[in-house]
Amino acid sequence: MFRKMPFILAAVIGLITLLYPFIPLVIKEGLYAISLSIKEIIVLFLPFIIFGLLFKAAVTLANNATKIILMILVLLCCSNFISTFLSHYVGAWIYNFDLSLVSPQKIIELKPLWSWKAPTLVENYIPMLAGIILGILSSLLFPTQAQKIATKIDEYVHLVLQGIVYVIPFFVAGFVINLEYDGIVNIILKDYSIVFAIIALAQFSYILFVYFLLNNANGKEFIASIKNMFPAAVSGFSTMSSAASMPLTIIGTEKNLKNKDLAYSVIPTTVNIHLVGDCFAIPILAYAILKSFGMAEPTLLSYTIFALYFIIAKFSVAAVPGGGILVMLPILHTYLNFNAEMMSLITALYVLFDPVITCANVLGNGAFAKFIDYCNSKT
């Protein structure tokens, strides 16, 4: 099923785009409601998935789990900082453009035929910490029993992941309908195409270059790695949620790693905080808006200070549609002198471009896991 997923998703998106004008409103609302319901189900199961994957990984990697977790934390901060710092040069280049951005018009939202909200049983950081701590402790205290428990939990987690994979086409279909209804694609292409094109080029050039290096500049392996991540990337684009796309990200990443278990520890740990797409999009948009409002270009020193606070703030980002920009507004206000109108504009632009940003985040998470795999194999 997973091997055919890229073709299935491409067919779903193409069919909806072609037939959209002829689909009755009630069916559009129904498909959107199905997508939202599936997303809530995924969110409901996320704590269990996160705990199970990290518990299994901690038990399996008991002897060097602490080393790997420390490695993930250090390299994650370095990765976020590098991508944010590189954005300075792209933003400085855009600053020299003759820009005059305006706030996009308010779009009409598609109302789902029904809606329900999954109860928040526990915050995701709790099963993340519990899985790591209990996995390490149980493997040290009773290793044989811990391995059996981890194997049984892993079986249930894989059943859940397999079930999610089968409903992904329905999951994506409703969000594609919503994007078409909102007219977001048309707004992006018409009013902000130049800036968005540069952001997308910067994001994906950087990510693809990293994949190319991690595959030892082997074209065949590089293409295979991207192909494995393609379903997750499409899911990220359609749903605008790295967390909701996590099951596909794990499956695709697992295929790209030598140590398969790392996919089950790195992805759940970094899904909300390693956001390469945000690290490029927000600073570049900030430079464009600064120029549009006639404000001075940040110096390298002031931008470096901004970048340091920016990566710290990443630890509080929720990987949900629009979540990446909300916690950054105080940082933009304090260190880049954004006023209320500028913050409103960058929020609107970010939300409009969120599908592409999330797609980049998902691909970046896969690349980061592959980098951890490479570093772990060298130690």
Higher-pLDDT residue of 318, 124? 124
Cα within 13 Å of Cα(245), Cβ side: 35
Higher-pLDDT residue of 335, 261? 335
pLDDT of residue 225: 92
Burial string for 121-143 (b: 16+ CB within 10 Å, else e) reads eeebeebbebbbebbbebbeeee
- DSSP per residue over 220-287, as a string? HHHHHHHHHHHHHHHHHHHH--TTTTHHHHHHHHHHH-SSTHHHHHHHHHHTTT--HHHHHHHHHHHH
Q: For residue 321, how far is the Cα from the chain centroid?
A: 10
Higher-pLDDT residue of 45, 215? 215
- Residues 204 and 280: their CA atoms lie apart, in Å, by 10
Specify the DSSP element, H or E, that contains 316: none
CA distances to 38, 65, 169, 182, 325 from 25, rounded to whole Å, are 20, 52, 20, 13, 31
- Residues 358 and 56: their CA atoms lie apart, in Å, by 27
- Residues 340 and 129: their CA atoms lie apart, in Å, by 37
Q: Are 210 and 367 in contact (CB under 8 A)?
A: yes
**Extents of the domains making up the chain:** 5-378
- Residues 302 and 320: their CA atoms lie apart, in Å, by 29
Residue 319: pLDDT band with limits 50, 70, 90: very low
pLDDT digits (tens, 9 = 90+) for 23-49: 999 999 999 899 888 878 877 887 888
Q: For residue 6, how far is the Cα from the chain centroid?
A: 18
Q: Give me the residue label for tokens 């995701």.
A: 124
What amino acid occupies position 181? Y
pTM exceeds 0.75, yes or no: no
pLDDT digits (tens, 9 = 90+) for 73-121: 788 889 999 999 999 999 999 888 765 555 555 556 788 899 888 787 7
- Residues 246 and 361: their CA atoms lie apart, in Å, by 11
Other CB atoms within 10 Å distance of the CB of residue 337: 14
DSSP state of 122: S
Share of the chain above pLDDT 90, in %: 24
Tokens of 172: 């994506």
Contacts of 2 (CB under 8 A, 6+ apart): 165, 231, 251
Q: Is the pLDDT of residue 139 over 50?
A: yes
Mean pLDDT value across residues 180-204: 77
Q: Are 229 and 363 in contact (CB under 8 A)?
A: yes
User: What is the third-level CATH fold of 5-378?
Assistant: Proton glutamate symport protein (1.10.3860)
Tokens of 375: 């570093």
